[in-house]
Amino acid sequence: MTPFDPGPAGGATVVAAGDRWTLVFIRELPHPREKVWSALTDPHRLDRWAPFAAGRDLSQTGDVTLTMVDGPDRTDTPATVRRAEPPAVLEYTWGGDLLRWDLDQTPGGTRLTLRHTIADRDAAPMYAAGWHLCVAVLARLLDGDPVGVIRGRDAMAHGWEDLRVAYEKSV
């Protein structure tokens, strides 16, 4: 297994969204959209890279429970899948937030764009650092070189604080 290096902060911006804020986070993945879509929607694959476990497949609209996992702690959060257009658009609520994943086919694979709409602008660097780590883990999973899920307190041992500080300066 290759040592895990999440890479430097980058590829994120924050834009106003009415009275809220949207973190826009973009990554290029050298995999077809269908493979990325499966990792975003299949609960068994989500549990290997995402900050939460999903109570069901996210490829169908409707209510679902997303369970935040932080070591032994579990926190259930209500969510609703609002749009599921395989393999291009996935949109769901996560508590009071809205997440929209756009998967655009590129010559080299897929451009993944996450739009995470939040109420507190000051929280954007924390979310950017968290998604940075999660998507780096996702990339390794898709590459067939998984490193294991990194979320919650475990993220601190993998550069989360340095990433948060870097995103504080850039978003």
As a CATH number, domain 13-170 is 3.30.530.20
CA 103 – CA 84 distance, rounded (Å): 12
Token match 């106003």: residue? 16
> Strand, coil or helix: what is 139?
helix
Domain extent listing, the chain:
13-170
Write out pLDDT tens, residues 7-22: 999 999 999 999 999 9
State yes or no: pLDDT of 2 exceeds 90: no
How many other CB atoms are found less than 10 A from the CB of residue 70?
A: 13
Q: Decide if 59 contacts 46 (C-beta within 8 A).
A: no
Give 71's pLDDT tier (boundaries 50, 70, 90). Answer: confident
State yes or no: pLDDT of 97 exceeds 90: yes
3 vs 39 pLDDT, higher one: 39
Write out pLDDT tens, residues 109-148: 999 999 999 999 999 999 999 999 999 999 999 999 999 9
Secondary structure of 42-77 as H, E, C letters: CHHHHCCCCCEEECCCCCCCEEEEEEEEECCEEEEE
Predicted local distance difference test score (pLDDT) of residue 167: 98
Predicted local distance difference test score (pLDDT) of residue 63: 98
State yes or no: pLDDT of 1 exceeds 90: no
CA 106 – CA 58 distance, rounded (Å): 24
